[in-house]
Structure 1
Amino acid sequence: MKRWLGKAEVVLGNHSDRLNAINIFPVADGDTGTNLYLTVRAAVAALGGASPETAETGNDVGGLLSRAGQAAMEQARGNSGTLFAVFLCAAAEPLAGKSRLSAPLLATALNRAQIRAWSALSEPVAGTMLSVLEAAAHAAQAVDAAQSGDDSNHALGLSLDAVVEAAYQAVVRTEDELAQLHEAHVVDAGGVGMLLVLDCLRSAVLGEELQDELLDGLHGYKLQDPHIHEHMPADDGVEVMCTISLSPLNAAILRQRLDEMGDSVIMSQVGGAQSQDDDDESTVEASYRWRVHVHVPDPEPAVALIRSLGEPTDIAVSQLAVPSGASTERTSPGIDDPSVTGQSRHEY
């Protein structure tokens, strides 16, 4: 698992420019590759070196991936990075306590991940990395059924081959599933990123080289192809991200209100229920940590709403489009708080 995430970090770093070049959905801001790379890098960093957590998890595949996923979620960038973090956290759950990966476990983990990823978005859209993850999960389930739950390494190899092939075909289909991609004659950047992540998993588990020809023929992916977002109208507004502890009721309220304010709303739990300090716990609704992501025209109402429901941490406000030649750092007007960062980073 460490080898998988390490490979993914290197591969996404190498492919980040091409992924950025074809990134036009949901915002043509050209940073899907960068966001995926930085999010995976956070996951890898969480596994580096010896620590008490490392000793406790030992050979627990799920425990290790859970730690990586939590770190990725806390530092996720953009839509694509947030969904990758959701994928890691969800996939870790059925692997908890397991010392090795098998075809049945892979099928369960990918299915859990695709369900969680679709549900994290208020308005999920087909033709994105969601579709790629869904296709991969279905392929793993089909192989597992055909092999009658065989947990041998051979069956795992067959499953991983099928997962990568299904993910590739799903990436090809994205071009015709989304009008914006069809018009631009490119495939979805986030979908390609997920395909690369899955091929890294196949390579790490089977001890085989990455498939260099895997992306040959994908529209918009040749080195000489232009960064198509550079010639598209700039998107107004900002991306707001934070982590906050909320009860399920307040989380539902926040999601509904954010849906009314903006779009690309993603909310996903970070870990389990938090302990209560109240003497009478029966009267206090359990709270959970949530990672929140939204695109809004103006950050101030969104930040005010979030703060009205709890105490957020790591609030990041990022422009969805940066004028040519502008500084990569800015201060958000009207938000005078050291906990709010104003980095001009974008999304998938």
Structure 2
Amino acid sequence: MPQRFFDAPAVRVWCGRALSALGRAREEIDAINVYPVADGDTGTNLYLTLESAAAAVEAVFSGHEAGHTGTAPSLAEAIRAMAHGALIGARGNSGTILAQLLRGMAQVLAAEERGERDTGGPGLRRALRHAADSARQAVAHPVEGTVLTVASAAADAAGRVEGGCDAVARAAYEGARTALAATPGQLPALERAGVVDAGGHGLVTVLGALVETLTGETAPALPAEAEVEHARVPEEAAEGADAGECPPGEGGPAFEVIYLLEAGEPAVARLRRRLDALGDSLVVVGGDGLWNVHVHVDDAGAAVEAGVEAGRPYRIRITHFGQGDAHTGGAGRPPRERVQRAVVAVVPGEGLAGLCAEAGATTVLARPGEPPASAELAEAVRRAHAREVVLLPNDAELRQTAAAAADQARQAGVRVALIPTRSAVQGIAALAVHEPGRRFDEDVVAMTSAAGATRYAEVTVAERQSWTTAGICQAGDVLGLVDGDVAVIGSDVAATARAVLDRMLAAGGELVTLVLGDDAPEDIADRLRTRVREAYLAVDTVVYRGGRQGSLLLIGVE
């Protein structure tokens, strides 16, 4: 039966149907993904984004049911949950824009309900208009022929009809379908490939689920132009491709950087300007202190550092586009093929995330007290887009989590080797000897040997009184841990670090790696480097900035 008003149960049904529809269309959408980056993951990113949105909506309903209130959530609660879930789970360029579209709808519909205004056709029309406009504003350099064009067309068509939600949804869907069919004529990359815009295809799929929810009828099929099976672009088209957002004649940025950011609007405005100067495909969505940042850059570390200056970035994901499948601005390239081998590394700070990404690894940031779940590691393996993956957990406590993620990836047909690195310095040592051109088993053996030959230590501050292997420590004491056990308890950071270093080098070594946290004393690297140079003549020292890694200092001795 047609539904003239939008309510919380409708949001729940819409989420479920949209998720199912994207699940069915995911491979087709991935296959036609040629803009802005031909990396064949738009359908998957949209699905994962909406999966997070649907989970958030279900949590709201479960909360009401557990409270035995006898009432369903309000429309505002449900639609805000949908938008928030999409924001925190947004993947890729397309998922980030979808999150902003849902946020725009939520802002209007929640306000309509609160003001006891019409949440029927007029409210849905206003919501679609605000969604399209806010998504366009979130993109640094909007391009026609993309999901933004499709969203605007949906809002335009919805604004021309009267009636309830059912009529508005039908009009929006028809406007979006028509706009989608026209996208090849607006973007040369799409025309050369003979496909419609992948993000726009995904949005039409989501709007089709809205039509089914509000009318009880199956949405009309997409136009024939959108029914493309695994499109492939002729080599001559790829060679003559436009550079899209990338400088003419050059390859595009090497990394995709995504993170959630807690920051105020003035800081985010400055962040937008800085990231816009660093790369392309910049999309910053969100508000009320929480943002999702997406950008393609060559300097992944600089993109993360910009986030640190703006506020608190977390859930940082850095993906290397890979040699041979490098991004070309999506200009007519076929969906990227899987690379043969990749490395996925868990890192404790932004500095190491940039360092490992520059070495070609896909990274997952593990904040103190916020270890990644197995699903997040499995998603990182998927993002690496490789047939073979070496997984570096870089934390003894993450070994079981990493093993579960590796099992998930193996079920998807990826060959995964888990190297049980217990510290980031062991991961650095493993990455240093990584050679993708070697046989997989040989590469894994070499990386495992390098990690195993690296002793690791950590200098940190005790948070509370406790028993340790070196005696009783008090809150505020400086602790030196060697291979995971407390070996030194002191009151001075430099003195404790020196004692730890001497203890480690007493057993020999050729290279000392120091990873400095943001709170480490300014001169500690120079003091330790001097100690090594004076007392251990044949030992070299390298220093890295780890960022907000939890520990004051990480030490590796090879």
TM-score (structure 1 length as normaliser): 0.83
Match of 1:316 in 2: 317
Question: How far 1:244 moved relative to its partner?
Answer: 1.5
Pairing 1:132–2:133 present:
no
In the other structure, the counterpart of 1:326 is 341
Question: Is the 8 Å Cα contact of residues 241 and 293 (structure 1) preserved in structure 2?
Answer: yes
Decide which of 255, 260, 266 is 2:277's aligned counterpart: 260
Q: Distance in 2 between matches of 1:318 and 1:227?
A: 24
Distance 2:264 2:168 in 1: 39
> Which one scores higher on RCO, CA 8 angstroms, separation ≥ 6?
1
Task: State the Cα distance separating 1:319 from its structure 2 match.
Answer: 2.4
| Alignment size in residue pairs | 318
In 2, Cα distance between equivalents of 1:130 and 1:261: 23
Aligned counterparts, 1:193-204, within 5 A: 193-204=202-213
| Whole-angstrom CA distance in 2 between matches of 1:227 and 1:141 | 37
* Mapping for residues 109-128 of structure 1, pairs under 5 Å: 109-128=127-146
What is the distance in 1 between the residues matched to 2:65 and 2:138? 27
Question: 2: distance between equivalents of 1:19 and 1:229?
Answer: 19
Shift of 1:54: 9.0
CA contact (8 A) 1:21 1:229 kept: no
Q: CA deviation at 1:64?
A: 0.6
How many angstroms apart in 2 are the aligned matches of 1:244 and 1:235?
25
Q: Could you tell me which amino acid in structure 2 is paired with residue 222 of structure 1?
A: V
Deviation of 1:227 (Å)? 4.9
Cα distance change of structure 1 residues 330 and 269 upon mapping to structure 2, 3 Å threshold? same
TM-score (norm 2): 0.53
Shift of 1:343: 4.9
Alignment check: 8 A CA contact 1:320 1:345 kept: no
CA distance in structure 2 between the aligned counterparts of 1:163 and 1:11, rounded to whole angstroms = 17
How far has the Cα of 1:52 moved from its partner? 5.3
Matched, 1:51 2:63: yes
CA contact (8 A) 2:258 2:317 kept: yes
Select which of 32, 35, 42 maps to 1:32.
42
State the identity %.
33
CA distance in 1, matches of 2:148, 2:260: 22
Q: How does 1:140-155 map to 2 (within 5 A)?
A: 140-143=158-161, 147=162, 150=163, 155=164
Structure 1 partner of 2:169: 160
Q: 2:228 aligns with which of 222, 227, 230?
A: 222
Deviations, residues 52-83 of structure 1 (Å, cap 9, x unaligned): 59979944223211111111111100011011
Where 1:27 maps in the other structure, the secondary structure is: coil
Whether the aligned pair in 1 keeps the contact of 2:139 and 2:284 (CA below 8 Å) is yes
Deviations 1:120-174 (A, max 9, x none): 011111111111110110111111xxx3xx5xxxx43322221111101100111
The separation in 2 between residues aligned to 1:328 and 1:53, in whole angstroms, is 43
SS in 1 for 2:36: coil
1:295 corresponds to: 296
Give the secondary structure class of the aligned counterpart of 1:173.
helix
**Mapped contact 1:263–1:294 kept (Cα < 8 A):** yes
- 1:292–1:53 Cα change, 3 Å: farther
Displacement of 1:289 in angstroms is 1.8
**Larger gyration radius, structure 1 or structure 2:** 2
Number of the residue aligned with 1:20: 30
Change (3 A) 1:328 1:132: farther
- 2:101 alignment partner in structure 1: 87
Q: Over aligned residues, Cα RMSD in angstroms?
A: 2.9
**Shift in alpha-carbon separation, 1:215–1:228, aligned structure 2, 3 A:** farther
Residue 265 (structure 2) aligned to one of 241, 248, 253:
248
Equivalent residue in structure 2 for 1:206, among 207, 212, 215: 215
Aligned residue type for 2:104: A
Does structure 1 retain, via aligned residues, the 8 Å contact 2:342–2:384? no
Q: Which structure's residues are more often helix, by fraction? A: 1
Q: CA offsets per residue over residues 3-62 of structure 1, 9 Å max, x none?
A: 111011011011111101110100000100000001001111112251159979944223
* SS class of match (2:339): coil
Whether the aligned pair in 2 keeps the contact of 1:28 and 1:232 (CA below 8 Å) is no
